[in-house]
Structure 1
Amino acid sequence: MQNSYAELPNLVIRAANGVDFVYRDTGGHAEHTPIVLFQHFRGNLDYWDPALIDRLAQTRRVITFDNAGVGGSTGVPADTIEQTARDAIHFITAIGLTRTDLLGFSIGSFVAQEIAMRRPALVRRLVLASSAPKGAPGMHGWAPEVIGAVGKPETSAEDYLGIFFTESENSRQAGKETLGRIFGSRTQDRDETTDWATREAQYDAVCTWGIPDHATLERLAAIDMPVFVANGDSDPMILPHYSYLLAGLIPQARLKIYPDAAHGFLFQYHDEFATDVTEFLS
């Protein structure tokens, strides 16, 4: 039986850019294209919900990693999405993949878009969770309540719940269960916490990505592989209307909005989302 995500060892590989990337690899299912996951702002290997990873790993190889300067990986954290994508390509190449599926969450979805445009032969299918296109109006920085929750050195469980889940009883309960899995499933050999300098670099990248530029939106026509765009209907960090915009600009995109859900919809609906992703990738 395959080990759960919470039990996987932290692996290290040195890439051509000189970075020692820390990653986890579920292995198995060599008959299917593997999927590489890209994490949200401030997230590391242990901020993935193990329930989601385990569900995805039932049918395919799943790889998570810390990009340059994030968590346990060495190197300098990039302050642009473009450089973050270049670093990620170095990692993907280092582990020997020449063709892969990508799942990007939040800032990770920006990176996944950039890889799909920069290295299209590398990407078979693309999943964009809580995403927005570069240059979309209104994306230049986050709302004050979001900054107040995640844009400070220390955050609380209540901060996390307020952004990743809605105020409904069902969503908050799902959020508490998610936190229990994220922080309770793995108690030893946890990944290093992302430091403040990395968080600042990531937010610089987010703000630059969000500078309004109508012409930049036309780039998305270059993403010619199948794409699954998904979000919660009440995401305060990346508003759902950006998902509609994104899906409308990508030629082969399909869209799903999950009800009574916020930024962490993919954890709240981990089983349903994993089923949707698996069906899309198949």
Structure 2
Amino acid sequence: MSERIPIGDRTLHVVQRGSGDPLLLIQGMSGTHASWGEPFLSALDPALATISYDHRGIGRSDPAAEPFSIVDLADDALALLDALGHASAHVMGISMGGMVAQELALKAPERVRSLTLGCTYSGGEGASLAAPETIQRLSEGMMSGDRERAIRTGYEINVSPAFAADEAHWPAFLAMATATPAPIATIMLQMQAIGAHDTLARLGAITAPTLVVHGDADLMLPVANGVLIADAIPGAHLERFADVGHLFWWERPEQTAALVTAHCAGATNPA
């Protein structure tokens, strides 16, 4: 079910599907509800009722002209849960969405049944963003004025070389990336929010059962970030995908869905 949900003075586009306990899916920079991909969502459908949405200014949600912070995006997520009538939910955030999920779990621990943090970043000492050459290549693609070149550049940076080398994977990614708008102005605002993000010193206060997933061929946010986060959150489990890039759920949809489903089930019915 696709709908527009009023959140304060704006409206967010939301897609709900599947059955079972609610799982709030929080996308990363430039990502939309479509960025989860049908293979991953289909694998979740039998066990979890997924809630995917477009951040402010992205996809089919209302435009955003003013700067915002990661905390502001976490407030959007909490307001969305309120609007949908969920006192609590399992939460999965990837990349920038993982930063939002960290702030959500710290701000409202009683709302988070379990936490999955994928290919994300905490800020603080030891954390690292993409290398300058990766950022330059990505920026050149975005500013080229050639939409397909920009998407192709982002694709090749965000997936592993082996995955990108198989041309059979490209059409589905291109269709996803062109299905919903991601204005460059909003992406720049998201980048500003990411630059100010720093939760490392507070991660020890997270009480939700936590799964951390990271591909060890990630160029956008190197796998050392996942190690740092898993070490900082009490009881967190780190799952590393060998030879997988930033978009691990896109490269390994069934494996990722199985991990997330088991993690949510374990949090709902602890041994």
TM-score, scaled relative to structure 2 = 0.87
Aligned counterpart, 1:95 = 84
Unpaired runs of 5+ in structure 2?
A: 266-271
Change (3 A) 1:150 1:96: farther
- Which of 18, 39, 44 does residue 27 from structure 2 map onto? 39
- CA RMSD of the aligned region, Å? 2.2
Unpaired runs of 5+ in structure 1?
A: 1-8, 211-215
Alignment of 1:167 with 2:161, yes or no, is yes
* Superposition deviation, residue 43 in structure 1: 1.2
Query: Which of structure 1's runs of 4+ aligned residues deviate more than 6 A?
Result: none
Alignment of 1:145 with 2:139, yes or no, is no
Greater displacement, 67-76 / 106-115 = 67-76
Alignment of 1:19 with 2:10, yes or no, is yes
Aligned counterpart, 2:211 = 228
- Which of 150, 153, 172 does residue 156 from structure 1 map onto? 150
Aligned counterpart, 1:243 = 226
Is the Cα contact below 8 Å between 2:119 and 2:213 reproduced in 1?
Answer: yes
Aligned counterpart, 1:70 = 58
Aligned counterpart, 2:237 = 254
* Superposition deviation, residue 111 in structure 1: 0.2
Change (3 A) 1:120 1:105: same
Is the Cα contact below 8 Å between 2:34 and 2:176 reproduced in 1?
Answer: no
Alignment of 1:125 with 2:114, yes or no, is yes
The structure with more helix, counted as a fraction of residues: 2
Alignment of 1:106 with 2:95, yes or no, is yes
* Superposition deviation, residue 50 in structure 1: 1.2
Percent identity reads 26
Distance in 1 separating the partners of 2:86 and 2:164? 38
Aligned residues: 258
Amino acid at match of 2:26: F
* Superposition deviation, residue 272 in structure 1: 0.8
